[in-house]
Amino acid sequence: MEYRKEHDSMGEVLVPADKYYGAQTQRSADHFKIGTENEKMPREILTAFARMKKAAARANAVLQPKRMTAKKAEAIEMVCGEILEGKLWDHFPLVVFQTGSGTQSNMNVNEVIANRGNELLGETLLHPNDDVNLSQSSNDTFPTAMQIAAVLALEDRLLPAAQRLADCFRRLEEENADVLKIGRTHLQDAVPIRFSQEISGWRASVETGIALIRAALPPLYSIALGGTAVGTGLNAPAGFAEKAAAELAADTGKPFVTAANKFHALTSKSELVFAHGAVKALAADLLKIANDVRLLASGPRAGLGEIFIPENEPGSSIMPGKVNPTQCEALTMVAVQVFGNDAAIAFAASQGNFELNVYMPVIAYNFLQSVSLLSEAIESFRQNCAEGIRPNREKMAENLERSLMLVTALNPVIGYENAAKVAKKAFAENISLREAAISLGLLTGEAFDRAVRPEKMV
């Protein structure tokens, strides 16, 4: 491999000749060999940086045109465009487990933009610190990149996926409005319910999760950019924070604004904790829904067997013909991962000292992993399971007919204690509720038939 010499404030460093990054990136790559390809800085963070550097260059070009000339700003924008197009991923080698401020990844972006920009210009015009990082610090850019990435991931990936699942459940509701089945509480028989009503609970749970995430978005729009090193805005011109946020909002189509208090914006990560809590809430409901589906589909002969779900692949290497609820299992495992990520995010957000949180890369990594996994798991579950849910009408009718909890309809007629006697006698003697009520002399057959009508109990 061929190398070239790059230098930073600490001296010279050998860098692979075919890479656009410089000395500070190489130092980080040499000193933090932690994790695998999967633990590299998320691409969502890098693309967020590209959007932010473009916005900063535009703001600087207006506010201090002598330092950020039109030529420099244009070159920065061109390279940011290449990053957003995914052309330069090989030039971002750094891992999550580095400095807690994300300084090395900020410099990685600065160096790539400067060196690639100079290549495009055909001259050495851009400096990573003096130009690409103008009016900025890692301490305000990394928090800003985190929130840009979080907003884009939530609004453009997770919320659409969740809405498609909610729409799927709404269709299933409409298709199953005439299907009666037995309800269950405590895993025991309860009173009747329409299958559409059960599905409506799933839909409303997903829609509630969507609403909670939407409620968590506004705090994420307030960004730290402009606070520079400790929140005072040192070395940033007046109006930079507002102008850069406006440029970012115009570029992304998201309503980003400058944070009212930069000291909070640099040191606190409560907005991300809150937003991930909403993601966790959705994951919790999805785990419950997936468990409902796989229990209702259990069998095919020795389980509940009240619904049919798509059969996607063989379920056993030894038991021929076995098919398992694998989409449910995948979704529940992702939910468990989200719960673990939430614990990591909460702990990391509680750390740091004085004017800066120094656990930011691991917060970003876990947050974005949760959103990515949950978005993909929801899509997979919807496409490969939920869309194909069908009721087993015969089994539902059989279970409804045999349920002892239909006796609840007799409470107003013969009282709770007498109704309990009917249920216990029917269970003990394996007879119907009707037979038990008649045997106990509590009701005639005709009176029982008038009182116990499942379709009137929903």
pLDDT score for 196: 98
Active site residues: 186, 316
Helix (H), strand (E), coil (C) string for the chain: CCEEEEEECCEEEEEECCCCCCHHHHHHHHHCCCCCHHHECCHHHHHHHHHHHHHHHHHHHHHCCCCCCHHHHHHHHHHHHHHHCCCCHHHCCCECCCCCCCHHHHHHHHHHHHHHHHHHHCCCCCCHHHHHCCCCCHHHHHHHHHHHHHHHHHHHHHHHHHHHHHHHHHHHHHHCCCCEEEEEECCEEEEEEEHHHHHHHHHHHHHHHHHHHHHHHHHHCEECCCCCCCCCCCCCCCCHHHHHHHHHHHHHCCCCEECCCHHHHHHCCHHHHHHHHHHHHHHHHHHHHHHHHHHHCCCCCCCCCCEECCCCCCCCCCCCCCCCCHHHHHHHHHHHHHHHHHHHHHHHHCCCECCECCCHHHHHHHHHHHHHHHHHHHHHHHHHCHHHCEECHHHHHHHHHHCHHHHHHHHHHHCHHHHHHHHHHHHHHCCCHHHHHHHCCCCCHHHHHHHCCHHHCC
d(CA 110, CA 76): 10
pLDDT score of 352 more than 90? no
Residue 313 has pLDDT above 90, yes or no: yes
Question: According to the model, what pLDDT value does residue 335 have?
Answer: 98
What is the C-alpha separation between 59 and 355, in angstroms, rounded? 25
Give me the chain's average pLDDT, please.
97
Q: Which two tokens stand for residue 358?
A: 């120094």
- Residue 37: per-residue pLDDT: 87
Q: What integer pLDDT is reported at residue 329 of this predicted model?
A: 98
pLDDT digits (tens, 9 = 90+) for 154-211: 999 999 999 999 999 999 999 999 999 999 999 999 999 999 999 999 999 999 999 9
Alpha-carbon distance values, 304 to 256, 321, 433 (Å): 50, 18, 21
Looking at the chain, the whole-number percentage of residues with pLDDT higher than 90 is 99
This model's pTM is above 0.85 = yes
Express each pLDDT in 248-273 by its tens digit.
Answer: 999 999 999 999 999 999 999 999 99
* pLDDT tens by residue, 17-62: 999 999 999 999 999 999 988 999 999 999 999 999 999 999 999 9
Residues 54-92 pLDDT 10s: 999 999 999 999 999 999 999 999 999 999 999 999 999
